[in-house]
Amino acid sequence: MSNHHDTSIGILGAGRVGTALARQALKAGYRVRIATSQPAADNALLVDIVTPGAVAVESSVAAASDLVVLAIPLHKYRTLNTHALAGRIVIDAMNYWAPVDGVFDDFESDPRTTSEVVEDFLPGARVVKSLNHIGYHELEEDDKAAGMPTRRALALAGDDAAAKAFVTNFIDRLGYDAVDAGPLAAGRAFQPATEIFTGSHTANQLRALIEKARPLADAA
Amino acid sequence: MENTLQIGAYSFGDTQLGPDDSPRSTAEAIKNLFDAIVHADRVGLDYFGVGEHHTVSMPASSPGALIAAAAAATTQITLGSAASIISTDDPVRVFQQFATADAISGGGRIEITAGRGSSVETFPLFGHDLNDYDELYAQKLDLLLTLNNSSTEHVTWSGRTRSPIGDLAVVPRPVTGSLPIWIATGGSAPSSARAGRLGLPLSYGIIGGQPHRFAPLANLYRQSAAQAGHTGENIKVSVATLGLVAPTKQEAIDRMYPGWVRLNVEMGRLRGWPAPERRDFLAQVDAPSAYFVGDPDEVAQRIVDLHGHLGHMRHFLQGDFGGLPQEHLLESLSLLATEVKPRVERLLAAK
């Protein structure tokens, strides 16, 4: 990634998370494409007004980006285009939040983290769990320049080292320190209702919380 | 954009607390809410929205029944649901209940706001499957609009989630032909665009963050409406926020804070949030944050400032949650009507 202005970010989902991410990625200088389950033409006005600078595309085009972010309601993950996402670096920013979205067997009956379930559904995709534990308001408000002592940190977890390096750079450009929590299964440490999920932390604080959660993740 | 601003309130019901903080009766909460609506009408508030929630702390489960009762006991105030969770209700019944309230009111001051709800408690309660969420909402809204737009008592409709209606009478008809039907949203871009395409008025519930950031969404709504050929007085925006008015800002903060703590403790238990802290509350009580809590001068100024961003035609507040003493709610309603509303009018006129 020599010049991130040539790097394309494909965002699947135009809800609150998807549009906030799109604006923040645009601010960082990325080329941003947005797709939903609707045809691109139906999203053109939305993208022009709410995320000016981004482009409304079909989901197959968004999936062909250098980095793809999943920002749809998690319970719709089976609508993702598995073929188009094969081989892609994919950030899973989705959460299972039964009190709001309802109870779904796919996640209730599976002991794994939701990102592992999603990765299973997307053969060949290089899934990194991240951007799921910051509120969509906060994403556009809490960013700080690199090196500032109070800079907020975001965790990531994944099994593909090169994909994680790419995502680390992306998170840094969005205005946050990236902290590697380990393999994808370690994302358990920052799922909903964890201390990481409900708080705001610097890199050092985040590393300590991930360490504290490690026995839990290993036991699962 | 509108140049006038209606001022109102909304409530999900607020169960009072006993000396040991245990909940008093939910029936008392409903009676309190009824009394508050009658009071709001007497002091001159423009609008009151009701429910729908189904919890012990917020028991306003049946907006149609409460609004029908309030319609009989009030003379000028506009009454609406805030919102009716139509995904899990029968649109025929919702329409009939509100058309009945409309008849009792004399006509023209009863509205329906259709929403999806911010939690999913109505799905198990009414025996629906959450996997049908989007389909149910779209189909039920379509039926509700068909009933409302019908030019006669006899309605024909068919869809995918229930048996067809073949030329059946759905009565009573609203006094003025139809009821205003609003769409409620927490502010996602796709739902703003959808409401615009449908040509329906849109009500934003803004309970956190910075409300002026909804400006692009309101713009998207209006442009989506224009693109679909919808113009005229049905294309309008209202805004619901948390807030409470008291003689001084300090009193308003001190009155709203205990209920806010209880609400967040209850929500936190359900959703895995940490215990709320006073600084989290205080971070949201000043412009441009989300809570419209203060004296009449400040709340009026903030409503008018937000109007500069959103161009909304109605702003309504919820301050009764977590066991707010009834007298504090009534005083807030009085101040909204007699102090905030005239200030808002003066400030808008001076623009």
Each residue's pLDDT expressed in tens, for chain A with a length of 220 residues: 446 778 999 999 999 999 999 999 999 999 999 999 999 999 999 999 999 999 999 999 999 999 999 999 999 999 999 999 999 999 999 999 887 777 888 999 999 999 999 999 999 999 999 999 999 989 999 999 999 999 999 999 999 999 999 999 999 999 999 999 999 999 999 999 899 998 999 999 999 999 999 876 566 5
Q: What's B103's domain CATH number?
A: 3.20.20.30
Q: Are B223 and A45 within 8 A, CB to CB? A: yes
Q: Are A50 and B220 within 8 A, CB to CB? A: yes
Largest alpha-carbon pair distance within chain A? 48
What pLDDT score was predicted for residue B290?
Answer: 96
Identify whether B336 is part of a domain.
Answer: yes
- Count: domains in chain B: 1
Beta bridge partners of A89: A126
With beta carbons under 8 A apart, name residues in chain A contacting B187: 16
- Domain, as residue range, for B92: 6-349
Nearest to A102 among B118, B123, B210 (CB): B123
On the question of pLDDT at B92 being above 70, the answer is yes
Which secondary structure element, helix H or strand E, spans residue B258, and what is its range? helix B249-271
Q: What is the mean pLDDT of residues B1-8?
A: 79
Q: Tokens 């094969």 sit at which residue?
A: A86
- pTM of the full structure: 0.93
Give the pLDDT band of residue B3 (cuts 50, 70, 90): low
Those residues of chain A whose CB sits closer than 8 Å to some CB in chain B are 14-16, 19, 36, 38, 45-46, 49-50, 75, 97, 99-104, 137, 192-195, 197-199
Domains of chain A: 4-219 (3.40.50.720)
The span from the CA of B139 to the CA of B345, in Å, is: 40
The span from the CA of B314 to the CA of A179, in Å, is: 45
ipTM of the complex: 0.89
Q: Are B118 and A50 within 8 A, CB to CB? A: no
What pLDDT score was predicted for residue A218?
Answer: 64
Q: Are B130 and A100 within 8 A, CB to CB? A: no
Identify whether B268 is part of a domain.
Answer: yes
Q: Are A50 and B271 within 8 A, CB to CB? A: no
Identify whether B1 is part of a domain.
Answer: no
Condensed to tens digits (0 to 9), the pLDDT of residues A33-54 reads: 999 999 999 999 999 999 999 9
A109 Cα to chain B: minimum distance (Å): 16
With beta carbons under 8 A apart, name residues in chain A contacting B220: 45-46, 49-50
Condensed to tens digits (0 to 9), the pLDDT of residues B215-260 reads: 999 999 999 999 999 999 999 999 999 999 999 999 999 999 999 9
Interface A-B: count of C-beta contacts within 8 A: 65
The span from the CA of A75 to the CA of A120, in Å, is: 15
| Per-residue tokens: B8 | 């109102």
Which residues 6+ apart lie within 8 Å of B56 measured at CB? B15, B23, B26
| Closest B-chain CA to A35 | B190
- What single letter denotes the amino acid at residue A190? F
On the question of pLDDT at B1 being above 60, the answer is no
CA angle B211, B215, B218 (to 5 degrees): 110
Total residues found in chain B within this entry: 351
A51 Cα to chain B: minimum distance (Å): 9
What pLDDT score was predicted for residue A220?
Answer: 57
**Residue B32 near residue B15, CB atoms below 8 Å:** no
